[in-house]
């Protein structure tokens, strides 16, 4: 909420400063801050929504809304990159006059605002994709402010206005890299993908070797509501049918929690072959 208020307020300042000075770097940063304001509002709403308990319609609860917010934020960043590049090309074709002094003052103020907002967001849980998405938006603004300051100084001392679209494209490239990583990771979670760091085959072998009574494991499915909330289902064959199935299942669940942080697992014990066959 702190970052949201600061970003929304300074966006108006940058729009005015960009129009007065004629700087694409400032207008690009203002456009980025507009998407940031919406992104931060969405992120804040996601944290409120995810607190709702599970119900009959969403039995896993609402935590996945955070990932959806991160995915939308990543897409909005990609849209901003496209707009910046489009405007930069137009500036190459038709250069315009830029007031370097006005641009410098506004960009310097923007740098201070973005530094504070980024520090606030960066102090949060960086494994939370919702926070990471919001922080990436503000980091993009931070880079935009730095680029605008450099461009303003070059324009003031040399009069070379093409530095403005050149640095705008450089910032757009950096934003694109972070935005694509966010879209890719949040999309992977929305597609019920297994955690990137997890080797499922190795996990199966470790369970068989580490949990007494487990003979074989198959039909393994693992995904996350969020990167922190992992879920698993699997079938298990027990070597000694005289042993207590509940003890073997309980030991397996403990192993999954301790070794992989999987807090919710559903295990089906196969007797006389897999029931799904």
Q: Is the pLDDT of residue 1 over 60?
A: yes
Cβ contacts of residue 76 below 8 Å, gap of 6+? 35, 38, 39
Q: Is the pLDDT of residue 242 over 60?
A: no
208-241 per-position pLDDT tens digit: 998 988 888 999 999 998 888 899 999 998 876 5
Q: Strand order in 262-270's β-sheet? A: 214-224, 230-238, 262-270
Provide the b/e sequence for 206-239 (b: ≥16 CB within 10 Å).
Answer: ebbeebebbeebeebebbbbbbebbbbebbbbbe
Average pLDDT across the chain, whole number: 84
Task: Evaluate whether 156 touches 148 at the Cβ level (below 8 Å).
Answer: no
Q: Is the pLDDT of residue 244 over 90?
A: no
137-196 per-position pLDDT tens digit: 788 778 878 888 888 899 899 988 888 888 888 878 877 887 888 899 899 999 999 988
- Which residue ranges form the domains of the chain, and what is each CATH number? 2-190 (1.20.1510.10), 200-270 (3.30.70.1350)
30-61 per-position pLDDT tens digit: 766 777 777 778 778 877 887 888 888 888 88
pTM summary value: 0.75
Question: CA 225 to CA 61: how far, in whole Å?
Answer: 9
Integer angstrom CA distances of residue 3 from 63, 88, 134? 22, 28, 9
């Amino acid at each position: 909420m702190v970052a949201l208020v600061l970003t929304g307020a300074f966006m108006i300042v940058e729009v005015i400063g960009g129009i007065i000075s004629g700087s694409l770097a400032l207008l690009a940063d203002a456009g980025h801050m507009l998407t940031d304001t919406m992104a931060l509002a969405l992120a804040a709403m996601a944290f409120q929504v995810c607190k709702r308990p599970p119900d009959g319609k969403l039995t896993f609860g609402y935590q996945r809304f955070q990932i959806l917010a991160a995915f939308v934020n990543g897409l909005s960043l990609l849209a901003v990159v496209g707009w910046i590049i489009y405007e930069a090309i137009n500036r190459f074709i038709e250069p315009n006059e830029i007031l370097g002094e006005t641009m410098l003052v506004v960009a310097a103020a923007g740098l201070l605002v973005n530094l504070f907002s980024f520090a606030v967001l960066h102090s949060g849980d960086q494994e939370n994709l919702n926070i990471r998405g919001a922080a990436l938006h503000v980091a993009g603004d931070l880079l935009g402010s730095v680029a605008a300051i450099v461009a303003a100084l070059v324009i003031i001392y040399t009069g070379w206005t093409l530095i403005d679209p050149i640095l705008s494209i450089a910032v757009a490239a950096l934003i694109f890299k972070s935005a694509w990583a966010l879209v890719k990771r949040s999309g992977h979670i929305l597609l019920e993908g297994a955690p990137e760091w997890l080797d499922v085959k190795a996990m199966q072998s470790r369970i068989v070797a580490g949990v007494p009574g487990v003979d074989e494991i198959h039909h393994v499915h693992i995904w996350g509501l969020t990167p922190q909330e992992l879920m698993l289902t699997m079938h298990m064959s027990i070597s000694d049918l005289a042993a207590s199935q509940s003890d073997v299942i309980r030991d397996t669940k403990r192993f999954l929690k301790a070794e992989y942080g999987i807090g919710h697992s559903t295990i089906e014990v196969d007797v006389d072959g897999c029931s799904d066959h």
